[in-house]
Each structure stands twice: as structure tokens, then as C-alpha cells.
Amino acid sequence: MLEKNQMICWTNCSICLAFNVEKGFGIIMRTVTDVNTVNQLLTYSKQAEAGIHQKAIQMLLGAGNNKKQDSLSISDAARGFSKQPIAALIDKNVNISNSELAYYFANYNNSSAILDAINFGENVSCGYNSDFKEYGVISFDLNGSRQVVPNYAVPKMNTSTMSGICAANNSLVLSNKNYYSWTTSSGSKYTWTVNNGRIGWAASESLLVENTNQKGTNYKWEMCKAGNILSELAQGKSVCGYLYSNEEVLSVCEKVRISPGFFSIDAGAGKHTYLLQESGKTINVDAKIKQLNDINWIEIGYKEGDTFSVYGKEYAIDSSGHINVSAEDEFTSTEIKYPSRSI
């Protein structure tokens, strides 16, 4: 009996063929040896590359240096059922179960669903043998279970339909769970995503290229650096000076049209306010305001009514010993001035 999503392996290849068939067919096994029958069996998603089909046929017929012809056993019933079969070719070394292909088989013709699952999913990863890269898989967690999509079936995206990442009046607002276009210094455009404060190159594209850990002028390192800096800012963190220089931070800010002075960023993880200095040093205004508001100034020698000038706006110590600064206030200066303290 062929179970739904049954996987069948070619004996002399490193490729596994998974079919989505209806459960419960009676099976009369036979060996497939002609190309026409293979053509009937191998039906891929709309996103599959045409070359994958031909490679599969060549492997099955023992093309190249493979002297021993491979064979594939499949039932007459599986070829004759009314619904069009969906097949997935996967490197058998990936070691996946039938249930892990459920999402792909349910959404093989829904490009948006596949892309969103990969780009906005949890625990997304990719693995493949360099000799069979297109037959590897991208995996992700969905409702507590691991799901996979064949690498060759990952849809491509068109950046010409996407907005760029650009601030207006030093306010960078990006829609969460959305796609944007990023232009590198060479002028090439790539798809970026915004996901709960994480900004960067879309996983559906970045996971299928070779990684780089070296600094340099190549586009991968350039985008990794820019994405990390923007993500730190979007999550309300302070950009660490030991990871990126002030010059690098300033360059990324200027690229998205953020100029020195107060700026804010809202990208799916709340609104966060910073002060960008001419040198490229960033001050986390939210963190500084929280620090000023949390201190009991009377306990450390100040008195009720003493006035602080915070970024050009004055705040008096109240009876509880605190001042109340808000990031929503209109600031006109980059300085903080403290009142004289009574000893």
C-alpha cells in the first residue's frame, strides 16, 4: 500500500522521491524503465526549475559515469488516480519523514504561503550536499512541528514591486511581516524582510547562497552588517562599538536617510528613539530617559523643585523625588543639564 506522502528512493542515487497520493490504493508493483512513464510520474510545483526534471530522468537512466541503471517501483493505481500527483525530489541524506512534507504538499502552488513560512517562521535553517544542492531542504517550525520545502521549489521574488527601506523626517517606519528591497553599493537589489524587529536579507534567498564570515566589500557581508545594525536599533538595543565602528553605523544610517540628530525606528518591535551624533555614535534615548526617570533625586542630595534640562526641555523634581521625561516630548537640544545639588 502507498501511504499519503509516501517516499520512494532510487537504489543507486542520493535522491528520494516523495509522492502525495491518496491513502488506501491497492498496489501492483512494477519497474519503471522508460522515460515516458517517468515524465508522467514526476509532476513538480510551479516553482520547480525545468532543469530539475531533466536531471532526475538522467539519474534514473544511468546517464554519465553511472554504469548501473537505477529503477523506480511505482503502482499502476498511483499513476491512474484522478488528481494530479505532486512529487518532491529530496536528497535522501536529509532524513525527513513523510509528515514533514505536509505543508509543502498543501501549499506547493501557493508561493506566498511558502515564502512567508520560510521568511517569517521560527527556527528556519537550510542543509544540503553541495553535489545535490537543489535537492536539499529549508526547514522551519510550524505549530510545533518541523516542516520542509525542497530547495528547488522555493519561489523567487521580484524586488521591483517592493518599497525601499527609507526614513522620512528621521523616522523609519517599516511594516512588520513584510518585504522590502535593499540596494547594495554595487547597485544590485535584494529582498529584505521585517520580522518582529529583525531586519535583513530574506531567508528564502540568503540560506541558498554560500555563507561568508569575512569582512570585505562583498555584498553578503555588506548586507549582514547593515541588517545587524538596523535590527539592533529596531529592537531598542544599543549598537555595540566593539562590533561595528561609528563610521559603519553612520554609513548605514545615512543609507536609509537618517541624519545626525534625534531619530526613531519602528519595525515590528515597538518605537525606539535614538540620538545620532556627527561621529556616528548613537545614544539610546529611551534607555537614558528611563535611567533619569528611575532615579530618586531627593535621596541623592537634590530637593523638590530642582529643575533638569533634558535635551532642551525642563523637568522639575516632584514630591516623590522623580522627574518625568517622555520620548514623545519635543527636544531641541542634545545636552542634559543637571541642577546644583545641596550637600
pLDDT tens per residue across all 343 residues of the chain: 444 444 444 444 555 656 554 433 222 223 333 444 444 444 444 444 455 555 555 554 555 554 444 444 445 544 444 445 556 777 777 778 888 999 999 998 899 999 999 999 999 998 777 667 777 889 999 888 999 999 989 999 999 999 999 999 999 999 999 999 999 999 999 999 999 999 999 999 998 886 555 454 578 889 999 999 999 999 999 887 668 899 999 999 999 999 999 999 999 999 999 999 999 999 999 999 999 999 999 999 999 999 999 999 999 999 999 999 998 899 999 999 999 886 6
Say whether both 120 and 192 belong to one domain.
no
| 223, 185 Cβ separation under 8 angstroms | no
Q: Exposed (0-12), middle (13-18) or buried (19+): which is 285, by Cβ within 10 Å?
A: buried
Would 322 be classed as within a structural domain? yes
Would 261 be classed as within a structural domain? yes
According to DSSP, the residues that pair with 178 across neighbouring strands are 194
Last residue of a domain, one of 89, 124, 153: 153
> Helices in the chain by DSSP H: which ranges?
35-41, 50-60, 76-80, 102-107, 111-119, 203-206, 219-234, 246-255, 285-294
Say whether both 36 and 132 belong to one domain.
yes
Say whether both 126 and 209 belong to one domain.
no
| 31, 76 Cβ separation under 8 angstroms | no
Say whether both 323 and 261 belong to one domain.
no
Would 290 be classed as within a structural domain? no
According to DSSP, the residues that pair with 72 across neighbouring strands are 32
Say whether both 149 and 163 belong to one domain.
no
Domain hosting 253: range is 159-285
Say whether both 84 and 143 belong to one domain.
yes
Say whether both 188 and 271 belong to one domain.
yes
- Return the sign of the alpha-carbon dihedral for residues 112, 117, 121, 126: negative
pTM, two decimal places:
0.74
Say whether both 29 and 107 belong to one domain.
yes
| 308, 291 Cβ separation under 8 angstroms | no
In the three-class reduction of DSSP (H, G, I as helix; E, B as strand; rest coil), residue 11 is classed as: coil
Say whether both 103 and 197 belong to one domain.
no
Q: For residue 237, give the DSSP letter.
A: P
Would 1 be classed as within a structural domain? no
Say whether both 129 and 209 belong to one domain.
no
Query: What's at 197, amino acid-wise?
Result: G
- Give the chain's domain count: 3
Would 2 be classed as within a structural domain? no
| 79, 87 Cβ separation under 8 angstroms | no
Task: Report d(CA 239, CA 129) in Å as an integer.
Answer: 36
CA-wise closest residue to 273 among 256, 293, 289: 289
Say whether both 51 and 118 belong to one domain.
yes
Task: Report d(CA 34, CA 205) in Å as an integer.
Answer: 36
Would 165 be classed as within a structural domain? yes
Last residue of a domain, one of 136, 153, 170: 153
Say whether both 225 and 118 belong to one domain.
no
